[in-house]
Amino acid sequence: MARKLALRDALREAMVEEMRRDESVFLMGEEVAEYDGAYKVSKGMLEEFGAKRVIDTPIAELGFAGIGVGAAMNGLRPIVEFMTWNFAVLAFDQIVNNAAKTLSQSAGNFKCPIVFRGPSGSAGQLAQQHSQTFESWMANVPGLKVISCVDPADAKGLLKSAIRDDDPVCMMESELLYGFEDEVPEEEYLVPIGVAAVRRQGSDVTLVSFNKMMYPTLEAAEELAKEGVEAEVIDLRTIRPIDYQTVVNSVKKTNRLVVIDESWPLAGVSSEIAYAIQKYAFDYLDAPVTRVNAADTSLPYAPTLVEAYLPNAEKIVKAVKEVMYMKA
């Protein structure tokens, strides 16, 4: 059976179920307890689990991320919530130099089962310092796993998998879509880390994206269908490890690829996908791989410039027509 849940409620249900299942799991972060979370993801959790397992922290990301890493090394399973991944920049030393390297530096003697989660990417008129997309930053680090999804059912199943994982996991959510509702199964389930999802079947071109860019991508696919172009849409869901095989299999069928990525064009997820396809499916390509990225600049504040900065359905349709050698 399934019922509709908002993304925030699916995430909360995942944490609650895992905290009931395993007493070593706890949540810490800015405003997660008394205020029920900055985005109400942890609403009601303090009341159920108490202040020892739902912990408000100071606005000191480096400090509480370090506490989480130490707790994970000593047998607990912390969930560390950042109010936004933009603030997590202050904690990168703990994430990159400690959490990611604990297993290898200890010759396998210490694991670091910790989840760092919170919203990533743009969220309207938040300007330059609060609108960055961090998937490729974190995915560049060996030792970390990176999840980036907004489908409520996926988010719940992937977060549960992340909490049970013995490696540190970074989970990227979307501030704009915490209220987005979709069907979520009532029964216990997990979504495996590292497996992409095919959201739409198609035969003419492959569209690959993740997180909230899935929605303009699916919108573009519907618009293209009106012109007789059937796009196959793949949601990566996990950025490290990437499910290359699902993308390769699709390109072997469609012979064309457009990658949609909210981050900047240089050294991003779209760059990695483009490289992998030219390596593993070059002989199947009938056109160069094309990317649709954010503009190569910091995000402006003006709403008209925000619209110009981000990928959208119109830009995706134009890119597809280019690889289909159609008039844009």
Give start-end residues of each CATH 3.40.50.970 domain in the chain: 2-185
CATH H superfamily, domain 2-185: Thiamin diphosphate (ThDP)-binding fold, Pyr/PP domains (3.40.50.970)
61 is catalytic: yes
pLDDT at residue 300 greater than cutoff 90:
no
Cis peptide before 241 (omega within 30 of 0): yes
Pick the CATH number of 197-323 from 3.40.30.10, 3.40.50.920, 3.40.190.10, 3.40.50.300: 3.40.50.920
pLDDT of residue 131: 66
- pLDDT greater than 70 at residue 328: no
Q: Does the structure show a pLDDT above 90 at 53?
A: yes
Catalytic, out of 13, 18, 30, 61 = 61
223 in catalytic set:
no
Q: CATH 3.40.50.920 occupies which residues in the chain?
A: 197-323
Lowest-confidence pick of 120-124, 174-178, 225-229: 120-124
The pLDDT of residue 307 = 84
Catalytic residue among 30, 81, 130, 262: 130
DSSP-assigned letter for residue 300 = P
pTM of the model: 0.95
pLDDT at residue 298 in the model: 83
pLDDT digits (tens, 9 = 90+) for 231-276: 999 999 999 999 999 999 999 999 999 999 999 999 999 999 999 9
- pLDDT band at 326; cut points 50, 70, 90: confident
Give percent of the chain with pLDDT exceeding 90.
Answer: 86
- The pLDDT score that the predictor gives to residue 157 is 98
Work out the mean pLDDT of the chain and round it to a whole number: 94
